[in-house]
Structure 1
């Protein structure tokens, strides 16, 4: 236990609200505290919106506390209304259970379940919510809360106008019951969550107090806002997943590398394990020469290595360099797939002519042969990074990278793939 741990969290900007801050800080300094974060399985993978709470669990564990990752196999069947504009779609039990297993797997990358001193715990609230009867729920949980208390929560208030089902209205009681069960099972006294979880967390503290006469604590982390006002965690409208099959390590690395200058140092404090004095040094260097992007590079390296490992990080850098320098031929098949995932691809059939003008037209890269010839003559067409200015050019075996792919670039930025 470091006596300045809580203060460091504050200096990193990771503390948004807490209940009884003084007592909580004292407790964290003096003993190993059990704390939990809930993750509802609403997809088959976690995304970077979950990364901050996951890394909070890691920070607490590194400081001698015991993190509990609660997978919401039960609450995931229902959906949390907190700051959502509409009802969630309900998923079948088998789907939610599969997703729960994936999430447990992902969490084990970040928190240590086999540590000798303070091993992390994984729990699934389906274990108690799944077997609880409605009568038990109404008697043991519902009795402790007035409707006025539940209605006063910001997450409910925001939805009353648009409409909220009884199912989602009752969500805060289920989350409160989770806190009670985790206290009874493991002695858990602290719940962490995003700032949108404050209402649900305080309901849990209330239930702990009423049922067990103990003081629980809540701590929320800020909701991440980007300097440009866009939502954090999405790029081109797609979520950035922690699963390498859903978001390639290269795309993941690029996401962090493209962080706005105004956010780079803040994100270093949030998402990396650099010491604050190291971050201050990076910040100083960054302020003197922002064009070197030293803060973004440090951020992208640390987070990509943490999530995907050193090799994947080095591969992402190699792909980035190859694209920047136009040396596409240096990439292997897997790197080509990562570099150009999402790029329009055309499957070349045995019937297709291998003449460049014909292929540009067949693949939909050009709208007419005239335009294709014009672009080739003007030097706007590149094959695997090399400019081609011969309209009679035929694609040869050596143009097929790894024997199966040709990368065509039109103009400065527009990439296309031909697959053979």
Structure 2
């Protein structure tokens, strides 16, 4: 049984989202008595978010499911600087046009997870460039900067990590945590926001915002962080050999997204179902108790539910059908496709072009190992040329989990 009285904290607690809270009793009481607007910030550094952001997106979804108001804060202002938290080096600075394009692209994903509108619990999306771009430096230093201790900022893990490695931390990046705290103050004023949520690496930044709102406006606001999500083998969740698992379909095919979830380690199925689906907890308990080959049924449920939320019902159905057809020897209609020229394409080049490998050198090694197959026939010649006749297709496979269709351009 959860220790909390509010539907919000009970829901977040029972599904495994809570790591740290600034004032658990205070937030529990507030969420019991009123609608709590809560936000999470996302810097638009790419045209799509990836599965590493998905816990945060799902937290906003759970906030809305519990009867509260999600605020999606796009970092159009802070994105011009970049969050230095736990990064080895400074991020590349983006132009305003690129940031605007990324924000527009990212919004499409949130519309799959949240209900936007003007109602009391409808989600809203705001951009911190609205207030950060207008800041005047001297007034900001006088009114906001005086509330921050450099000694304390240097003690935060996100800063210490860079300094301990003797890596440069620019003054530009050092200001990031002050700007994030100021975001919380502005959202408290503009949208009555009372809660900031984020990953455990954001704890210091969130606490700064909680304290700034108290010192400047005398407003009580709250912070909540989630645990660092790792796989059963200790690796960071979402990090794959093939690169980022993007949420936007123009960055990653429906099937590859579905297959990512289908490939979940047996030991992680339960936690992934709790965090990334809306399935009832009793149904999740039944699924994670499955053993042996039966756990594969739970993985298919996970893949279907996660894909349905992010990509839609039709995509989930098609991907399951494609997987069933692919692994029974057919050619699935929803597999990634590569158009090849009439003169053919090298097998290694095809593997790299479809995203199975990062380079032709890696592809040639995989081919020599016998890991690459055309229509289930292993090809071990790294110089093999793939040629197709008009109307012909071929299934390209790397190992047991990566499949694609080759067709004539």
- TM-score w.r.t. the length of structure 2 is 0.84
Please provide the CA RMSD for this pair: 3.0
Change (3 A) 1:134 1:277: same
Aligned to 1:121: 124
Aligned to 1:278: 283
Change (3 A) 1:326 1:180: same
1:37 aligns to what SS in structure 2? strand
Deviation at 1:27, TM superposition (A): 1.2
Aligned to 2:134: 131
CA distance in 1, matches of 2:124, 2:20: 25
Change (3 A) 1:99 1:415: closer
1:69 aligns to what SS in structure 2? strand
CA distance in 2, matches of 1:117, 1:183: 16
Residue 188 of structure 2 is aligned with which of 183, 189, 198? Answer: 183
Aligned to 1:348: 342
Greater shift in the superposed pair: 256-265 or 311-320:
311-320
Greater shift in the superposed pair: 239-248 or 129-138:
129-138
Aligned to 2:107: 104
Deviation at 1:231, TM superposition (A): 2.5
Residue 92 of structure 2 is aligned with which of 89, 92, 107? Answer: 89
Aligned pairs (5 A) from 1:64-75: 64-75=67-78
Contact 1:346 1:363 in 2 (8 A): no
Change (3 A) 1:244 1:410: closer
Q: Does 1:59 align with 2:62?
A: yes
Aligned pairs (5 A) from 1:189-268: 189-268=194-273
Could you list the per-position Cα deviations for residues 173-199 of structure 1 after superposition, in whole angstroms to 9, with x for gaps in the alignment? 000000000001011111000000001
Change (3 A) 1:275 1:411: closer
Change (3 A) 1:236 1:137: same
CA distance in 2, matches of 1:73, 1:396: 49
CA distance in 2, matches of 1:65, 1:116: 11
Q: Does 1:417 align with 2:406?
A: yes
Aligned to 2:48: 45
Contact 2:388 2:407 in 1 (8 A): no
1:109 aligns to what SS in structure 2? helix
CA distance in 1, matches of 2:119, 2:68: 12
Aligned pairs (5 A) from 1:377-388: none
Greater shift in the superposed pair: 130-139 or 227-236:
227-236
Aligned to 1:159: 162
Contact 1:347 1:419 in 2 (8 A): yes
CA distance in 2, matches of 1:408, 1:75: 43
Residue 13 of structure 1 is aligned with which of 10, 13, 16? Answer: 16
Aligned length: 377
Contact 2:39 2:70 in 1 (8 A): yes
Contact 1:18 1:220 in 2 (8 A): yes
CA distance in 1, matches of 2:404, 2:66: 47
Please identify the structure whose Cα radius of gyration is greater: 1
Deviation at 1:80, TM superposition (A): 0.6
Mark the runs of 5 or more structure 2 residues left unpaired by the alignment. Answer: 352-370, 379-386
Could you list the per-position Cα deviations for residues 246-284 of structure 1 after superposition, in whole angstroms to 9, with x for gaps in the alignment? 110100000000000111111111111111112112223
Change (3 A) 1:16 1:138: same
Deviation at 1:163, TM superposition (A): 2.3
Contact 2:300 2:320 in 1 (8 A): no
CA distance in 1, matches of 2:138, 2:272: 46
Aligned to 2:382: none
Change (3 A) 1:93 1:265: same
Change (3 A) 1:63 1:363: closer
